Homo-oligomer: A and B are copies of this chain.
Amino acid sequence: MDSPEVVIDARLTGLEATFHPRSVAVVGASPWQYGAGGAGAGYLRALQEMGCPAIYPVNPKHEEIEGFRCYPSLAGIEGPIDHVVSALPARAVPGLVDDCIARGVRTLHLFTAGFKETGDEAMEEAEAAIVAAATSAGIRVLGPNCMGLYVPSAGLSFIIGFPTEPGPVAMISQSGTNAAEFVRSASRRGIRFSKVVSYGNAADIDESELLEYLADDPESEIVACYIEGVKDGRRFFQALKLAAAAKPVIVLKGGRTQSGQRAAQSHTGSLAGSADIFAALCRQTGAFQARNVEEMADLAVAFRFGGRLTGRRLAVVAGGGGVSVAAADEIDEAGLACPVLPQATQETLLEFIPAAGSSVRNPIDAFVGFDPKRLGDTVRIAGLAENIDAVIVQVDFSSPGFAMSPLASEPEKAIGALVDAIILAGATSGKRTIIVARPALDVEAVRHTVIFQDRCWQAGLPVYPTVGRAAASTAAFLRWNDGSL
Contacts and interface: CB of A to CB of B under 8 A. Distances in A.
A321 interface: yes
A272 B71 CA distance: 73
A310 interface: no
B255 A329 contact: yes
Interface string A105-142: 00000001110011000000000000000000000000
Interface string A303-330: 0000000000000000111111111110
Contact of A406 (B34, B42, B258): B34
A358 B174 CA distance: 14
Given A32-B404, A175-B322, A356-B114, A441 B184 contact: yes
A263 interface: yes
Nearest to A324: B263
A456 B173 CA distance: 33
Contacts of A118: 355-356
Contacts of A338: 259, 263
Given A359-B267, A439-B439, A450-B443, A468 B323 contact: no
A321 B357 CA distance: 50
A175 B321 contact: yes
Contact of A34 (B254, B323, B324, B404): B404
A221 B356 CA distance: 36
Interface string A408-443: 000000000000000000000000000000011111
A177 B327 CA distance: 13
A326 B259 CA distance: 10
Nearest to A367: B35
Contact of A161 (B180, B400, B443): B400
Nearest to A198: B322
Contact of A329 (B159, B175, B257, B337): B257
A188 interface: yes
A357 B266 CA distance: 9
A447 to B, nearest CB: 5
B332 A260 contact: yes
B292 A355 contact: no
Contacts of A181: 320, 322-323
A405 interface: yes
B90 A356 contact: yes
Contact of A443 (B340, B406, B446): B446
Contact of A113 (B256, B357, B405): B357
Given A35-B371, A118-B355, A331-B259, A325 B264 contact: yes
A464 to B, nearest CB: 14
B254 A329 contact: yes
B404 A268 contact: no
Nearest to A334: B257
Interface string A55-95: 00000000000000000000000000000000001100000
A185 B118 CA distance: 42
Contacts of A468: 292
B329 A361 contact: no
Contacts of A228: 325
Given A160-B400, A257-B332, A443-B446, A322 B267 contact: yes
A266 B439 CA distance: 27
Contacts of A113: 356-358
Contacts of A267: 321-322, 324-325, 359, 365
11 contacts: A42-B404, A174-B321, A174-B322, A175-B323, A175-B325, A176-B320, A176-B321, A259-B328, A259-B331, A292-B326, A442-B446
Interface of A: 32, 34-35, 42, 89-90, 112-114, 117-118, 145, 159-161, 173-181, 184-185, 188, 226, 228, 254-260, 262-264, 266-268, 292-293, 319-329, 331-333, 337-338, 340, 355-359, 361, 363, 365, 367, 370-371, 374, 398-400, 404-406, 439-443, 446-447, 450, 466, 468
